[in-house]
Structure 1
Amino acid sequence: MDFAKLCGLGSTDSPTLLSFKTLLAACAEFAVKDLGELRFFLSIDVKRDDHGFCLSQQRYAEDRLDRAGMSNCKTTTTPIDAKGKLSADGDKVTDAASYQSLAGALQYLTITRQDLAFVVQQL
């Protein structure tokens, strides 16, 4: 068994999963705690239905908008030039650490919002 998979367990076969959790709990090297069904992990909301899983980062996105002081902004469609390149000759960012933090947060959002990937890559 791959050791990385021991961080979280999941199976469609409940008896096998229960047996494996019991085996791990009996081993003194592992601290095992059953947290129940996965609902929230690494700022990602997880909802399960008959067709699979639905992942959402809405709470994460709203928190990042609030931190950037943009929670009251209105949404709009903004076309982007796919062939254009940003110039390094423009105004410098006044707070580089804040810019890097926001750009990283946007990059993390591309896990569930692939439609943002191109624009975030441009930043």
Structure 2
Amino acid sequence: MEMNALLQAVKYDANGLVVAIAQDAETGEILMVAYMNEATLRQTLETGLMTYWSRSRQEVWVKGATSGHTQEVREVRIDCDGDVLLFKIKQNGGAACHTGHRSCFYRKLENGRLVETEGLVFNPEQVYSQNNR
């Protein structure tokens, strides 16, 4: 899909955002869900590196800029309504989640409790404190 065709097909919400799902291109595992605005979508398409809009910080967020755990775009898809984007990506560094887990979906409901299904890839306290010095 040509960049302009995709940009024209996207339907942003009232805040100018669209849901972006990051999926491991090799395994099919869903790694994370975040948001993009038109500028971050354009930057992602131009650079090949996943770039999101942080709703909590109200700023552009290039995935891995702090942790080194970048995401390279391998394929881009859009849903039938145009309001969700699916990016098949190569996850560099092993962890997509800021908590240090491979996936943001590292917990599951089991017998009425949330249980962690995987261990840490990295300790976020060490990584983020070192990068903020």
Q: Is the TM value for this pair above 0.5?
A: no
Q: Where on the TM-score scale, by shorter chain, does this alignment land: which range?
A: under 0.3
Higher relative contact order (CA 8 A, sep 6+): 2
Larger Rg belongs to: 1
TM-score for both structures, normalised by structure 1: 0.23
TM-score for both structures, normalised by structure 2: 0.22
Q: Which structure is higher in strand share?
A: 2
